[in-house]
Amino acid sequence: MNNTLIADVKHILVRDLQTMAGEVADTPDEDLWEALPGVINPVGTLALHICGNLRHFIGALLGSDGYLRDRDREFNLRDMPKEELLGEITDTAIAIAAALDGLDPARLNDPMPAPPPQHQGRTIGFFLVQLCCHTHRHQGQLNYLRRIKKGI
């Protein structure tokens, strides 16, 4: 059962990252880092945040891959070229797949290491599901922003 959870989470996150890469690729360069009135985060920021979040919690904390998160950069960078951002998305998919492939299912009931305060005491299994939800929520925001900017 626990192997299934890890495989399912991996499938969902890699799939959603691939979808997000398509959204970023379909976003005109001039719209990638421009927010709409009343919206704080543009498409590029949301994509960078999703990558940083997954690389930190799965790659670094669960996979010990050495990734160091710069959360301020995720929310303040406004000039990364599209190809570089697409590379970040690809690197994220590779890192989380490797970390999840190496995750011992016996750890799923262990407390998540270094979670945000609102998730203190939650298990790794719970937190993996939370990361899927968090990723999908921001991916939906990214999709709507891209479509609004394109007028569709």
Q: What is the pLDDT along the chain (152 residues), one digit of tens a residue?
A: 468 999 999 999 999 999 999 999 999 999 999 988 899 999 999 999 999 999 999 999 999 999 999 999 999 999 999 999 999 999 999 999 999 999 999 999 999 999 999 999 999 999 999 999 999 999 999 999 988 888 76
End-to-end CA, the chain: 42
Instruction: Supply the DSSP string of 46-59, one letter for each residue.
Output: HHHHHHHHHIIIII
Q: Domain count for the chain, please give it.
A: 1
Structure tokens at 122: 């939650």
Please state the pTM of the whole predicted model: 0.95
Q: What is the pLDDT of residue 88?
A: 98
Q: What is the pLDDT of residue 2?
A: 66
Q: Are 101 and 65 in contact (CB under 8 A)?
A: no
CATH code for the domain in which residue 54 is found: 1.20.120.450
Domain range holding 77? Answer: 2-150
Torsion of CA 55, 58, 62, 68, to 10 degrees: 20
Q: What is the pLDDT of residue 152?
A: 64
Structure tokens at 23: 């959204």
Structure tokens at 116: 């945000």
